[in-house]
Structures are given as structure tokens and as C-alpha cells.
Amino acid sequence: MAVTEIVPAPAPKIERVETSWSRLRYYAAAHPLGMIGAAIMVVFVFAAIFANFISPYDPIATSAATTLKPPGAAHWLGTDAMGRDILSRIIYGARISLAVGLGSTALGCVVGVALGLTSGYLGGWVDLVIQRVVDVLQAMPLLVLALVMAAALGPALNNTILAIAIPLIPYSARVIRSNTLALREQPFVEAARAVGMSEFRIAIRHVLPNTVAPLIVIATAQLGAAILTEASLSFLGLGVPEPHPSWGRMLSESAAEYVRTAPWLVIFPGIAISLAVFGTNLFGDALRDILDPRLRD
């Protein structure tokens, strides 16, 4: 008599649903330094947006009775030579630094993307002319060219953004051009040409979206450089003018005269600048690791 073998039914396959929260936890565990940088930037963005509500004093109000007060209960970070609260000025200074940093980075990336995409996709004499212009801009260091532009335009918020944005153009233009040179030879570009799409439409709809990942990385790195450059220009008197509170101008007003008698005037604005640049650099490194497929696990 034949014996029938009973084969157990396979267990049902459980599909793992990946949520945004689980993905965020994975990235936080894989890139802890990047999450620290993101947290630092969130704090500065929060301070810039809600400065009117969290600032304890008016940042430009002077008081002869509270001149050069050391850090204490009334003024957590002390006061300057005009009796202005340092904490309030640092909180409002985040608005200036982020406005200049984001504005100059966005403007520099937009112009750089346009130049890099045009140069890399069209090639020929167009590529030659654009790259020579980019070489001229990149021949001078970022701070030196920003100093020249700021001195020519004059101290103002919009002029500072423009003065920093122009030296940032070559960096994004080079990155976008190199990616465009590789993408324009891909089969999907040839297929788009075969169906009759115009070159402009191919460049905008097919080539440009594939350069977003390296563009985000370079923009994050440029944000820290822009914040540091704005502080340097303000320190030299070529950045955002008074009465706007700027971290660099706060150092300029106190570094030489009060560095020994009132060190808090130098320490706390310097810490704010360092944390802002440090946070953007950490966050940019994590974004590079996440978006670059060659560095993924």
C-alpha cells in the first residue's frame, strides 16, 4: 500500500512595509554625525523663524545701565559695550546668516546649473566659452572674490548675497557639467531623440533631474562656506550694515578692544559661527553618503 507524504504548506510571506519613520531611524543609526548636523541646523532655523518670540530683549536696544555685563541671570550671555543683549543679537543674527547663506547658495546654484547644463549638453564652442568664464571665476579664492564684489557693490543685504553667490557659481557649474557629459550619452537620451523630443526638453526633463543628487550635496557644502564668508565680510565692514545684528560684525566690534576684559563678546558669536558651519558640513557629508550609490551599503 502506497504511503502518501504530506508536505506542509509554505508559510505566508510577510512583506515588510518601510515607513518614513523607520527610514529616518535607519539613517540616524547609519549616519549619527549627519543627524547631529541636521539637529544643529534645525535649532538655527527655529531660532531664525521664531526670533521675535524666543528673543528675551530687543537686539538693537541700547542701555547705559547694562554696559558690558557678564553672563548672568538677567543676560544669559552678557551684554556688549552699548548694553545690547548678546543672546538676542545671536538669535537675530541667525536670520542674517541663514538668509545670506541660503540666498547666495540658491542663486549660485541656479546660475551654476544653467551654465553647467548648457555647457555639458551642447558642447563645442559653447562649452569652450562657458568653461573659460568659469575658469576666470574659479581662479580667485572664494573669500578674495567675495571681498572684491562686496567692495564694488557696497554694504547691504542684497549686495552681500550677490557678492557671495558669484564666487559660488563655478563649483556647481563644474559638478553639473561633469554629470551632464556622462548623462547625454546614455540610452534614454538617445531614445528621447528618436521619438522626436527637442534638445531643450531632453535637457530639462531627462538630464537635469538626474543631476539633483550631486547638486544637493554641493549646495549643502556651499551653505557652510557662504555663512562663513558672510561672517568674514561683516567682520571687515563689507557685509550686512548696522543696525542688523550679524555674527561677524559682533566679532568686529569687540575682538580688538574687549577680548581681554569682556571675552564673552568674542566667545559666543564665534561659537555660533562655528556650530553653523560645523552643522552644515556634517549634514552635507551624510547626504553625500546617502545619495551616492557607490557609498551605500
CATH number for 185: 1.10.3720.10
Is 49 among the domain residues? Answer: no
Tell me the per-residue pLDDT of 27-61, one tens digit each, with 9 for 90 and over.
Answer: 778 888 889 999 999 999 999 999 999 999 999 88
Task: With a cut of 70, say whether residue 17 has pLDDT above it.
Answer: no
Range of the domain at 123: 94-292
Question: What φ, ψ does residue 154 adopt, rounded to 5°?
Answer: 95, 160
- Distance from CA of residue 24 to its chain's centroid? 21
Is 19 among the domain residues? Answer: no
Tell me the per-residue pLDDT of 80-97, one tens digit each, with 9 for 90 and over.
Answer: 888 999 999 999 999 999
Domain count, the chain: 1
- Residue-level pLDDT at 293: 57
Provide the residue type at 277 as one letter: V
Is 69 among the domain residues? Answer: no
Residue 90, class by beta-carbon neighbours within 10 Å (0-12 exposed, 13-18 middle, 19+ buried)? buried
Under DSSP, is residue 46 helix (H, G, I), strand (E, B) or coil?
A: helix
- Residue-level pLDDT at 87: 94
Provide the residue type at 169 as one letter: I
Average pLDDT over residues 59-68: 88
Is 253 among the domain residues? Answer: yes
Task: With a cut of 80, say whether residue 193 has pLDDT above it.
Answer: yes
Task: With a cut of 90, say whether residue 106 has pLDDT above it.
Answer: yes
- State the chain's mean pLDDT as an integer: 86
- Residue-level pLDDT at 257: 78
Q: Select the more confidently predicted residue: 20 or 297.
A: 20
Average pLDDT over residues 215-220: 87
